[in-house]
Amino acid sequence: MTDQFDEFLEEVQQDIKHEKYLQLWKKYGRHVTTAAVSILAAATAYMLWQNHLQKKHMELSDAFLTAQMYIAQNKLPEAFAVFEAMRTSNHDVYGYLRHFEKSAALLAKGDAASVKEACDLLEKMAKDSGLPVYVKDYAAFLFAKISYEQKLKSSEETLELLKPLSDTKNPWRLFVEELKGLIYYTDGRYKDALEIFAALVKDENTPEGLRIRAQMMVQLSNQNVRFKP
């Protein structure tokens, strides 16, 4: 008899639980279902967006390689047309890569108009606040270097352009210092050049290729310091 009574109580408790569950579901079930559907929709949208981005990335990659192939074949109009047709923001990776490639191709042409166009493009990138800092700084460094080498800027103007890039935290600092050293050497400021190149040799962060160049310039600068009248 006791067992039957216990079974009866258990059935009543289960019915109560079931009734409470039904009441809770009637009250909150719609919201739970809506939330679940929303999460599923968001996940689906994210997957579709990722697929879209992957497809776009592949298209941009193919276009960029095509443009590089045209440049290698010296078909610059075709390469520039591909760059212009690339549907990408100036602020994403393929956006600024195409500008660097275009400026290099223009510089390789060698005529004054193309060199100026390359410099203008790099200067514009250097001033673009939407670009990552390291990209802006690299563009600024190239602009200063090319402008000096092509005699578009004087030594003083170039050194002024390099000042903001000389911070110890700047990733291009060592190459900036090398350019400063070369400017000093060319201008006959051999002691200043020797100081810079000696520091580059001692700096443990200096890349091996740059270190070798700096060692050579240390010797040349030192000779000129010793024999300069």
Cβ atoms 78, 70 nearer than 8 A:
yes
Q: What per-residue confidence (pLDDT) applies to 52?
A: 43
Q: What per-residue confidence (pLDDT) applies to 35?
A: 42
Q: How far apart are CA 53 and CA 135, in angstroms?
A: 22
Cβ atoms 162, 176 nearer than 8 A:
yes
Q: What per-residue confidence (pLDDT) applies to 84?
A: 74
Q: What per-residue confidence (pLDDT) applies to 75?
A: 75
Structure tokens at 9: 């109580």
CA atoms within 13 A on the CB side of 115: 13
DSSP class of 204: T
pTM over 0.75: no
Q: What per-residue confidence (pLDDT) applies to 45?
A: 45
Counting as low any pLDDT under 50, the low residues of the chain are 1-2, 5, 8-9, 12, 28-29, 31-46, 48-50, 52-53
Cβ atoms 142, 99 nearer than 8 A:
no
Q: What per-residue confidence (pLDDT) applies to 5?
A: 43
Q: How far apart are CA 212 and CA 223, in angstroms?
A: 17
Give long-range contacts, CB 8 A cutoff, 24+ apart: 71-80.
71/101, 71/105, 76/105, 76/106, 76/109, 79/105, 80/105
